[in-house]
Amino acid sequence: MTTPASLEEPAALPPTEHPAIAGSSSPPPVIGVLALQGAFAEHVRALARLGVISREVRLPADLDGLDGLIVPGGESTTIGKLLGRTGLLDAIRQQATADALPVWGTCAGLIVLATDIGDSGSRIGQPQPLLGLMDLRVRRNAFGSQLDSFETDLAAPAVADRPLPAVFIRAPVIEATGDGVEVLARLPDGRPVAARQGRFLATAFHPELTDDLAFHRYFVEVVAAEAAERRSA
């Protein structure tokens, strides 16, 4: 898709020059991208444009040495089942809780990060496997089928000081948030579509399908801050 000139990003920086880690004597953070299904390649490319080292994650061993993890968009039921089959569901939950691994979920990834998806969990009545890392109630396919996909600009002041492009494809919506959850962006009708809870981030839309890197940059900063805190502990 075409991006207005005002939103064009500069050339990718080498990892040691990224603003989140500039001047640090510590190794640059390594961010994993869950690569079982969905739009993982787009996230890898976005991180590369920021000069950030990434790794595709398909097995629990791939989590070793990561400073952060992105769970991409795709089909949430399929992603959940594959997480269970590969052993990643428990492995990610363990690292996210016991080892303080930051995790960002986009679209289907938001669903997998939530604790409650109500009666929208599965068309065949089976429980949807969830990581359950964020205190969110989420509704799947809140806007209809793929034919009802849309693009819009969102205000997210904590992320950027300008409207950010957002692509919604069979997207979920956040119906309720628990204590400690910060809403980062809302639709014009007030419904939340991006949220943060400590080191966990969730977006109902696909930042990786736009040319704007603001949300990826924001997550890199969360990851770098968490890594610095672990080193100083």
What pLDDT does residue 24 have? 54
Q: What is the DSSP letter of 138?
A: E
Chain centroid, CA 124 distance in Å: 27
Does a structural domain hold residue 13?
Answer: no
Tokens 């890898």 found at: 44
Does a structural domain hold residue 18?
Answer: no
Does a structural domain hold residue 167?
Answer: yes
What pLDDT does residue 128 have? 83
Does a structural domain hold residue 1?
Answer: no
Does a structural domain hold residue 208?
Answer: yes
Does a structural domain hold residue 3?
Answer: no
- Of 77, 73, 111, 70, which is closest to residue 92 (Cα–Cα)? 70
Does a structural domain hold residue 202?
Answer: yes
- Judge contact between 52 and 15, C-beta under 8 A: yes
Give me the number of domains the chain comprises: 1
What pLDDT does residue 67 have? 96
DSSP string, 48-99: HHTT-EEEEE-SGGGGTT-SEEEE-SS-HHHHHHHHHHHTHHHHHHHHHHTS
Catalytic residue numbers, as ranges: 107, 206, 208
Does a structural domain hold residue 16?
Answer: no
What pLDDT does residue 232 have? 77
Query: What range does the domain containing 127 cover?
Result: 27-232
Q: 3-class DSSP state for residue 43?
A: helix
Give the CATH number for residue 156: 3.40.50.880
Q: 3-class DSSP state for residue 164?
A: strand
- Residues 6 or more apart in contact with residue 197 via CB below 8 angstroms: 133, 134, 135, 136, 178, 180, 181, 182
- Of 105, 74, 96, which is closest to residue 170 (Cα–Cα)? 74
pLDDT tens, per residue, the chain with 233 residues: 433 333 334 444 444 345 555 545 567 789 999 999 999 999 999 999 999 999 999 999 999 999 999 999 999 999 999 999 999 999 999 999 999 999 999 999 999 999 999 876 554 456 789 999 999 999 988 886 666 689 999 999 999 999 999 999 999 999 999 999 999 999 999 999 999 999 999 999 999 999 999 999 999 999 999 988 877 77
